[in-house]
Amino acid sequence: MTTTLRTLSRDLIAALDADKDTIFTESYSVDDALVDHVDSIIPVYNWELAECLADNPMLAEVYDPGFLPENPTVWQIISTALYEELSDVAHEWASTVTAYVVD
């Protein structure tokens, strides 16, 4: 199966849903739990990163260049762009789920 931002987002949401009880009851913060999940879903193989970029050319740029080293490689740029996008997905999921957990 091809690795895309869409499939990574879907897999991230599935993992978050599966760990929902742990995420909202852990001794560490919800933000830390979300970061852990996002970190674990980012591809580590260059060919998977290339598939993501081929599917979504916007991953060639990051919103916050402060996350990048001084002379980033293309793989670092794609990984960082994926991290930013998937972090947004995770925080959106958390805000939606929190509304149900609080009620």
At 16 the pLDDT is 95
The residue extents of the domains of the chain are 5-102
At 99 the pLDDT is 58
For the stretch 4-57, pLDDT in tens is 999 999 999 999 999 988 888 867 788 999 999 999 999 999 999 999 999 999
- Least-confidence region, from 13-17, 32-36, 92-96, 99-103: 99-103
pTM (two decimals): 0.90
Q: Measured between alpha carbons, how far is 100 from 77 in angstroms, rounded to an integer?
A: 35
At 7 the pLDDT is 97
Instruction: Supply the CATH classification number for the domain 5-102.
Output: 1.20.120
